[in-house]
Amino acid sequence: MRKLILVTLLTGVSLGLSLGLTAQVVNVEGVIVEDHAQLGMRNLVLNGSGVRRKYIFDIYVAALYLVTKQSSAAAVLADKGEKRIAMHMVSDLNPGELLYLFKKAIENNHSEEELAALKKPVGEFEDVFYKMGALNKGDVIDMDYLPGTGTRVMVNGGLRGMISGDAFYNVLLKIWLGEHPVQEKLKRQLLGGP
């Protein structure tokens, strides 16, 4: 009888531990976003998420993952730890169209001098998108910051390219978190606001 009770208790503890480690999810306009992401050996937490809209069309759900939550764009940009922007496509899109929107946002958040200095990494980023192929509803683009390495772009878990150097990731983040973000509401949501 004692063995049965002990086995039952241990099974319950084991089950409780495994349930405690189960990922929680957030439903953003019908897209399920996990509340954490694994990046190498680092566990990142969901800082915020929201929908990117262009006119009346939903393009993607964006989710920002950090080592620790931050509530200001300045704090996110100053953070030297691993980061991830996950983009869950909610409509089919040509990567060239998405790249065009990214480039416009990069231009809106940088001076001409800064853009001239960014020519090489922006060119590498463009190359990644030109080789990407069609993006379909349900695809997930992960853009990861790996300190000391650079920016890794993945689609549905498959590597699409790397942009070397640490500086480019903040250029990318300013698309959503810069002084002139692609969408003010999305900026607030990525920073954990409503």
Residue pLDDT tens, the chain, 194 long: 444 333 333 334 333 333 344 557 666 667 889 999 999 889 999 999 999 988 878 899 999 999 999 999 999 999 999 999 999 999 898 888 889 999 999 999 999 999 999 999 999 999 998 888 889 999 999 999 999 999 999 999 999 999 999 989 999 999 999 999 999 999 999 999 98
Q: What is the pLDDT of residue 27?
A: 65
Helix axes 168-177, 119-130, angle to 10 degrees: 70
Please name every residue paired with 191 in a beta bridge, in sequence order, or none if there are none.
none
Tokens standing for residue 144: 């990861």
Q: What is the pLDDT of residue 29?
A: 67
* DSSP single-letter state for residue 183: -
- Rounded Cα distance between 100 and 95, Å, is 9
Q: What is the pLDDT of residue 26?
A: 63
Q: What is the pLDDT of residue 31?
A: 81
- Rounded Cα distance between 54 and 111, Å, is 24
Provide the total of helices (H) and of strands (E) in the chain, helices listed first. 7, 9
Taken in order of first residue, the domains within the chain and their CATH numbers are 23-190 (3.50.70.10)
Element (H, E) at 51: strand 42-54
Show Cβ contacts of residue 84 under 8 Å, excluding neighbours closer than 6 positions: 37, 39, 44, 63, 64, 65, 142, 143, 144, 145
